[in-house]
A = this chain, B = another copy of it.
Amino acid sequence: MAKSRFEYVKLFEHHETALPNTWMVVRLDGRGFHRFSALHEFEKPNDARALELMNEAARECMLAFPDIVLAYGESDEMSFVLDRRSNLFKRRKSKVMSTIVSLFSSTYVMRWSRFMRDKEGRPIELQACPHFDARVVCYPTLQNLKDYLSWRQADCHINNLYNTAFWLLVLKKGLTEQEAESRLRGTFSADKNEIMFSECGVNYNNEPAMFRKGSVILWADMEEEVTGQRTMPDGTTKTVTSTRRRRQPVVTAQDMIGPAFWEEHADVFAVET
């Protein structure tokens, strides 16, 4: 069996690498999630369970690849930011991107039943294969990276403002979907806030921050309570609870468009050169 005769085909492989010293961003985007969310009756305009499932899958990716310094999720998309010094997979774009999207997808399914439960706590059956496309983009400066994250967070804001107003009109005021669409056509942010407040009695700013800001996932030292059995000098065992600190990806809902976030987390992004 002449194996070597065929091996020349490896020469056709081409591994594009990300430019060194740039911020690699891997963005995942759900495919067909309009249909997928309808099929599983996601709550409108936001399904907290589904968002938390997205966040859990993102946290799993961060734990597997500590070079990810931040993840940002909104709706059915998730962005991962890799440290600009990262040499993960020698910065081969395909490998970085495919491994992350694969792990994210399998985790999404694996943790589905933990998050997706009905009001009685019964698991909702997964009836279709959720999947995501991925892309990798490089940003050369911190300002470019800030603008990228601001772009996504502004997108989250605009979509969520619209969707919240839309579904309030439909679910609370009883408008048809067409009527709600007409009502909102051409309105500005202030108009939508006013419609929600005066017509639906809802102050948009009181909506959950995760809906309004998306999910910002960062590493933090967390205290964990660890409970274990300890054998005492006299041979007896005793249940002991201690706390330990561990770095973990933690979900928050901070604003990344203003400067405060970047000042607070300057150490994460402050890379000389």
Residues of chain B contacted by A109 (CB below 8 angstroms):
106, 109-110
Which A residues lie at the B interface, using CB under 8 A? 1-3, 5-17, 19-22, 28, 31, 60, 93-95, 97-99, 101-110, 126, 129-141, 143-144, 147-148, 150-151, 154-155, 157-158, 189, 257, 272-273
Complex CA distance for A99 and B98, rounded to whole angstroms: 9
- Contact between chains at B106 and A148 (CB < 8 Å): no
- Contact between chains at B99 and A148 (CB < 8 Å): no
Number of copies of chain A assembled together: 4
Residues of chain B contacted by A20 (CB below 8 angstroms):
11-12, 140
Complex CA distance for A2 and B131, rounded to whole angstroms: 31
Residues of chain B contacted by A7 (CB below 8 angstroms):
151
Query: Which of A12, A13, A21, A273 has the most chain B CB atoms inside 10 A of its CB?
Result: A12
Given contacts A105-B131, A107-B129, 7 further A-B contacts (CB under 8 A): A3-B154, A9-B137, A13-B135, A31-B102, A60-B129, A94-B135, A106-B106
- Contact between chains at B22 and A140 (CB < 8 Å): yes
- Contact between chains at A133 and B95 (CB < 8 Å): yes
- Contact between chains at B12 and A139 (CB < 8 Å): yes
- A131: contacting residue among B9, B103, B147, CB under 8 A: B103
- Contact between chains at B16 and A133 (CB < 8 Å): no
- Contact between chains at A9 and B106 (CB < 8 Å): no
Q: What are the 5 closest A-B residue pairs judged by CB atoms, nearest first?
A: A140-B140, A6-B151, A98-B134, A102-B131, A109-B109
- Contact between chains at B189 and A134 (CB < 8 Å): no
Complex CA distance for A192 and B8, rounded to whole angstroms: 26
Residue of B nearest to A134 (CB): B98
CB distance from A228 to the nearest CB of B (A): 21
Residues of chain B contacted by A133 (CB below 8 angstroms):
94-95, 98-99, 102
